[in-house]
Structure 1
Amino acid sequence: MLDFMDNVQNAFYEASHWNIDNSYGALNATARALLDFQTPRGLKLQISSLSAPNFATSYTLGNVGVVDGSVSYLYSSLPLRREFKSSELDLHHAIRGYRHFQELRRPDEDWWWEVWHSGKRIDRRDTLLYGRIFLPQSTLEALYLRRLSPTRQLKISAVSDSSLNNGGTILALLQNDVGKYSTEYMYSTDSALMGVRGLYNFGMDPRVELTAPVTAQEIAEPVHGRFSAGAELYYGLLNKSGGISTGLRFTTLPNHTGFPYTMTLTLNPLMGNLSSTYAVKAGSNLALCSRFDFNFYSYESELQLGCELWRRRRDTDLEWAVKKLRADWKRPTVSPDDDVSGVLKARVDQDWRIGVLWEGRIKELLFTLGASLDLKRREQIFRGIGIELQYSS
């Protein structure tokens, strides 16, 4: 389940009209959500609050090995209106699942962001500030996020820890997204790493308005999917080493009448790694995913299978029925996903290592219960088990 602060940051992206899926880094987001989920270990408690539309706080306490915790604060110059109360938030905002990619959105015009008063321009660029300190390690992490224009944003993250080289590291990322394509430029103080990556979407350009008349064939045959291609290149100036990768993705769009699905293929030629994924929304409550990795140099391969099953409330649940009637009174329609109460995730690989996760809500608490197993280790099948509880107001 997403951390409270991660959920708030996603709300900032949504409110500032930034598409987090239109980047090369999110090429395999669907497969990662279904296969790379983390199973908790021990007990972890988190209490959070969005005390104002611009300010959020969060406190965590855990007991993995030793008692530890963290304190974090977040400020957003852009008011965030999404519901964050743990008893009322949409679970799809807090739980990573199968990602339905939407149609590309036309970027805002620059003049849309201008605010004038008495002949003077008074608008400011939206900014997000985030800080977190881990105790008792005294590790500090920080994030500075600024929307420079409707198609550009700057993201600077930093970590201060005595165990790291030079006592910490800073990562700067300049992102550009015009809809049709996106580019990212990166610099990290760790090894003086520099990188660039980009993603190109084939098909219609959302920046181009349709002025010509639309033919009957174009109306009868709308675009049901999107094909994307991207690559990244990075090089470390201090350690004189670099890397390169490229990838392809095809995903169905909301107007697709069949089962939604997403396919990706990525290649790292220097390391010889080839990875292919296939994820499908097999029903309104079920999603399946597979990933096959192969190395050209060592001939080693790995296969992973995963699934997620959403649980919905029963119509006989009186509490849900009352909330639904209230929602019906406030708005004419109710999303078909408003009645979900949790999700069961599972994955297994060729070595019979299994991960199981159950995420959902009980009254006003969000919970994550998970376990990792290794069926080949008969003397100790359970590798880890834990539970996380979240409460936000």
Structure 2
Amino acid sequence: MLGFMDYVQKAFLEASNWNQDNSYSTLTATAQALLDFETPRGLRLNVSSLASPKFASSYTIGTVGLVDGSLSYLYSSLPLEARFKSSEIDLHHVIQGYRQLQDLRQPDQSWWWEVWHKGKRVDRRDALLYGRLFLPQSTLEALYLRRLSPSRQLKVSAVSDARLPNGGTILTLLQNDFGKYSTEYLYSTDSALLGVRGLYNFGPDPRTATSQDVQAEPVYGRFSAGAELYYGLLNKSGGMSTGIRFTTLPQHTGFPYTMTLTLNPLMGNLSSTYAVKAGQNLALCSRFDFNFYSYESDLQLGCELWRRRGPDAEVEWASKMLRPDWERPAVRPDGDVAGVLKARVDQNWRAGVLWEGRIRELLFTLGTSFDLKRRDHIFRAVGVELQYST
């Protein structure tokens, strides 16, 4: 489940019309959400507040070994109007699961952002500032996010910790989204790392498509291909990867599904994923990894099952069983959910189970990971995380 500050940052990107899915870094986001979810350890409590549409604060305390916690503050120059109360947040917006990609949209024209007053331009670019202090380690992390233009944004993140080389690190990321394709350029002070990423979407170009084209030729799926290349100037080493993805779009009449294939030729890693939304409340996913240098392989399976709220669900089910001609009840809206159950298992019988949802005004995450091959110590981690926001 997304933390409160991550949810606020997501709301900022949505309010500034930035497409988070049109990036090579999110190529396998669906499989990662269904298979790579983290299970909490111990007990953790998060209390947050959006004091104004531009300012938010969050406080966290945990009990993993010694008592630890964090203080975080966020400022946004763009007023945020989304729902931030834990009792009102749509669970689909904070629980990461199957991601249904939408149609590519045409980027805004630069002159749309211009604001003139008495013959002078008075518009400013939206920005977000975020800082978090971890206690008792005294580790500080910060984020600066700025929209430079309708198709470009700058992201600078930093970590200050005496245990890190040079006392910390800074990562700068320049992102460009032109709809049809996207590019990213990054620089990190860690090993003076330089990198570039790119993603290209086959099919219609949203920059030239018209409303008549959309009505005449509906698009049911999208094929994308991308790659990344990075090189460390200090350690004289580099790397690269490439990948492809096919996913269905909302116009697709069958079950939504997503397929990806990624390759790291230098390390010899090949990974393929397949995720399908088998029903309104069920999603399934599989991932197969293979290394053609060592011939090692790995298989993972996962699923998510959403539970609808409503005390009359059992009564409706019993009525339909007793009377086959019973009228089918209307589908409940997506917001009418009580939580989601996630589960994963790999070929070595290492498994994880996660239950996320809401109890009254609290968002909760309950999870455990275990190893079925170790009879003496099956459970590896058990934890509960609670979130309350106003």
Q: TM-score, normalised by structure 1?
A: 0.93
Cα deviation, 1:311-349, whole Å, max 9, x if unaligned, reads: 0012649xxxxxxxxxxxxxxxx9820101100000000
> Partners of 1:259 and 1:381 in 2: how far apart?
36
Cα deviation, 1:245-287, whole Å, max 9, x if unaligned, reads: 0000000000000000000000000000000000000000000
Cα deviation, 1:112-161, whole Å, max 9, x if unaligned, reads: 11111111110000000000000010000000000000000000000000
- Alignment pair present for 1:257 and 2:284: no
**Per-residue deviation, 1:223:** 1.5
- Alignment pair present for 1:84 and 2:84: yes
SS in 2 for 1:156: strand
> Partners of 1:226 and 1:103 in 2: how far apart?
9
- Alignment-derived partner of residue 248 in structure 1: 244
Q: Indicate which of 275, 291, 296 corresponds to 2:292.
A: 296
Structure 1 runs (4+) greater than 6 angstroms displaced: none
> Partners of 2:339 and 2:107 in 1: how far apart?
34
RMSD of aligned alpha carbons: 1.4
- Alignment-derived partner of residue 378 in structure 2: 381
Cα deviation, 1:3-51, whole Å, max 9, x if unaligned, reads: 1000000000000000010000000000000000000000000000011
* Matched pairs, number: 373
SS in 1 for 2:234: coil
- Alignment-derived partner of residue 266 in structure 1: 262
> Partners of 2:144 and 2:52 in 1: how far apart?
19
SS in 1 for 2:66: coil
**Per-residue deviation, 1:214:** 5.5
> Partners of 2:104 and 2:56 in 1: how far apart?
30
**Per-residue deviation, 1:185:** 0.2
> Partners of 2:207 and 2:253 in 1: how far apart?
26
SS in 2 for 1:85: coil
**Per-residue deviation, 1:210:** 3.0
**Per-residue deviation, 1:209:** 3.5
Residues 55 and 75 of structure 2 are in contact (CA less than 8 Å); yes or no, is this contact kept in structure 1?
A: yes
- Alignment-derived partner of residue 353 in structure 1: 350
Q: Indicate which of 379, 388, 392 corresponds to 2:389.
A: 392
Percent identity over the alignment is: 78
Which sections of structure 1, spanning at least 5 residues, go unmatched? Answer: 318-333
Letter in 2 for 1:276: S
**Per-residue deviation, 1:222:** 2.3
- Alignment pair present for 1:57 and 2:53: no
- Alignment pair present for 1:174 and 2:170: no
Cα deviation, 1:212-256, whole Å, max 9, x if unaligned, reads: x759xx83x621000000000000000010001000000000000
> Partners of 1:49 and 1:260 in 2: how far apart?
36
Letter in 1 for 2:87: S
SS in 2 for 1:206: coil
Cα deviation, 1:46-90, whole Å, max 9, x if unaligned, reads: 000011000000000001111000000000000000001000110
- Alignment-derived partner of residue 330 in structure 1: none
